[in-house]
Structure 1
């Protein structure tokens, strides 16, 4: 008899667009439809202190349509890294996969990530974005993303992957322990996680190439945000010495 695998799927959100709850349910159903029958899935939605867009009606809709659903929130916006650590600390499944609530990557990528974690027993699986992804980014966001990849080559040559900012990552309980050791609250929490995981000789790491699904549009990145992330980079580098 096959052992039941418990999978926790974690989605952060902040001031989501209209119709987000129906979009989330649509892609969630597609995702779970191709998982093995012995997999039990629980969805965690973590709201990073939204001031609009999330109502009790939205949450009730999700509770009624998703068998295992947990909503996590707090009053003040703290950043995506803080949000994910808060929710992932509550997870109890064998495996955890996190991605944005609009499922920005092709579903085949999420299925491949699950297979590598479940069938091949990797501890951490990291999504790496293809070149087409960068061609779709607004100018400042593109410059920052490409610059960060170059900086990772220079300052972290032994890092397992140099493209660290893909919003699709998965791990088992060993990987979860590493993720919860991150400190960065803003976007570079992903990079900090990869730096920490790359140092662990006892972790089996794998990477997959991920592709943006049709219909996704990317937000602008301000100079203020770029300055903040550069400070986060300096923080990570200082901690890594």
Structure 2
């Protein structure tokens, strides 16, 4: 506020800008890393949002790290490396510890998830009451077991549906895609959850802790392009069993 003789002039600061920390855990993704980083760089955000890109290489043994370093100057990203492979969850938590945004958005490096969905994922945060948004593959991704347009790797979709139904049963909420990579949330909330999972059990643990706190998860439909094991998919049936145990454990243990 400035005073000039008999006048008062009030200069406002305008709407608050929200910073989004995009955390990309990476392990042996030499075939896709350049393309996904370029997509993230070019991604559009809603008005009033800015981004920082944090890449965590989880001790890749192929040329992934070299490609990231070659792109680093152009993309202005923050690169963090693990000396030994610790798992996807550990990579996300490392990125979280270095993040400075108001929000955290998790992005896989395999091109299954399209950064073109960022606008849709972030729009709900214009409502100050929204703390968590999931991008749901299952809102626009029907299961088709037969025919020309059958679902790629339907066993994974069936397993995901089972885990999601188990989540809803245990926690009394209704989500459609618990295992989605696209999880966006308030950074301070994410830190407060004290997630311990180092590997693929990150997804069920963080979801369980969010729902146990009574926090609503807003879901928006996203595009998905599933890949096969031959193309580099890493999650296996053992991870499904661990997910079941994780969901049950955190229902009764903090």
Pair 1:45 & 2:60 matched:
no
Counterpart position of 1:71: 79
- Cα distance, 1:15 vs. partner? 0.4
Counterpart position of 1:205: 217
Provide runs of 4+ in structure 1 moved above 6 Å: none
Distance 1:129 1:103 in 2: 14
Q: Is the 8 A contact 1:152 1:162 kept in 2?
A: no
Comparing 138-147 and 183-192, the one that deviates more: 138-147
Q: 1:19 to 1:232 in 2, by over 3 A?
A: closer
Distance 1:102 1:199 in 2: 30
Counterpart position of 1:94: 102
Q: Secondary structure at the match of 1:46?
A: strand
Compare CA radii of gyration and give the structure with the larger one.
Answer: 2
- Cα distance, 1:52 vs. partner? 1.1
Distance 1:140 1:19 in 2: 24
User: Gaps spanning 5+ residues in structure 2: where?
Assistant: 1-13, 145-150
Give the structure with the larger helix fraction: 1
- Count of residue pairs brought into register by the alignment: 229
Q: Is the 8 A contact 1:95 1:172 kept in 2?
A: yes
TM-score, length-normalised on structure 2?
0.77
- Cα distance, 1:170 vs. partner? 0.5
Match of 2:189 among 153, 175, 200: 175
TM-score, length-normalised on structure 1?
0.81
Counterpart position of 1:219: 229
Match of 1:189 among 196, 202, 223: 202
